[in-house]
Chain A
């Protein structure tokens, strides 16, 4: 009997707190969307008045909206004015750089364009239209800052390669390795390189070792018949 009472209390308690948190998240959502409207109505004022802008950014942060999202959103609404268009391109470029930095340790600085688009879409609170074409356009604005970001086409798929100040661009040999990885479902071996391109052992070793050093390939010593395989890490998120 007492057990049943306990159960009833627990249930009641749970439903009360669920209702409470539902209400809170509705309120938060309402507030957030009001904020978004406000930003698009008063965009110019926010831009010109620095004190106002400061306060506004504080509010955004405390309700969990990234001001950069707002800029992206409001500028994506109307693409007629060229200034808004450039706002969109620039804020998207900032987002791209952020994602590239965050994923660098995992992918060594090479990311599929498709994956980049889906990460950007997932990580923004507001629904923002982003396409691969938008990304390419934004990247063009970054070239003035140096040749750190570059689009490559490997086996018909587009990739974004980014390096810090040094590092240069991807070599032809490295590109060939990615081609094999594409065919083999993610990995390459010395034997595959020899059979397909006629590379000798020294060439295989120097290219692969450099790619390992730069974080473009992971080593797997447990391949079939003890053959070492070298995997490209974008497999994990693809």
Chain B
């Protein structure tokens, strides 16, 4: 399935790989890159990336470790690539202007970014709906049960969701709304989640 993805035509436009000097054009260019990144990540279900544009985590098992993905910032057909500087400008645009990404740890940007082709509120709603529909509101569930369990009615949209992102969704949305509680185990890890 990895070969079916096609980049939009602008990905083959040579100047797309050079930071444009004209400010109006530059903002169009950064918007185009943002759209490309979002389409790419949604297609391969990539939820986080390194700052070089490689996959950090994906819900698709074979995407996470394979080199078979078409590279995002390199176009071998036209022999063009995006410089490291320009890559960080693009990510910064995606984070601050388009607001569809966030540093995994703002104090340590090197760790990479979450890409929100689905917002964390939407992720939270999917989780809540799943727990609600399967009649498990108020039950203590493990993180495993929320993203990996078989035969539990777990929808494909949630399968293999990156655990780091799952915890962020719980903490930033559901706990804040008072719809979830975390239960810690002896070692200070997350032993279970109760969604109410």
Contact = CB atoms under 8 A, between A and B. Distances in A.
A215 B28 CA distance: 11
Interface residues of B, number: 21
Contacts of B15: 218-220, 229, 231
Contacts of B16: 218
A72 to B, nearest CB: 29
A52 interface: no
Nearest to A224: B79
B25 interface: yes
A229 B14 contact: yes
Contacts of B22: 212-213, 215
Contacts of B25: 105, 108, 215, 218
Interface string A92-128: 0000000000000110100000000000000000000
B93 interface: no
B13 interface: yes
A162 to B, nearest CB: 16
A235 B80 contact: no
Contacts of B14: 187, 220, 222-223, 229, 231
B151 A236 contact: no
Interface of A: 2-3, 6, 105-106, 108, 187, 212-213, 215, 218-223, 229, 231, 233, 235-237
Interface of B: 9-10, 13-18, 20-22, 24-25, 27-29, 79-81, 151, 153
Given A212-B22, A222-B14, A236-B13, 12 more contacts: A2-B151, A105-B24, A105-B28, A218-B13, A218-B16, A218-B20, A218-B25, A219-B15, A220-B80, A223-B14, A231-B14, A233-B13
16 contacts: A105-B27, A105-B28, A213-B22, A218-B13, A218-B25, A219-B18, A219-B20, A220-B14, A220-B15, A221-B18, A222-B14, A222-B18, A222-B80, A231-B15, A236-B9, A236-B10
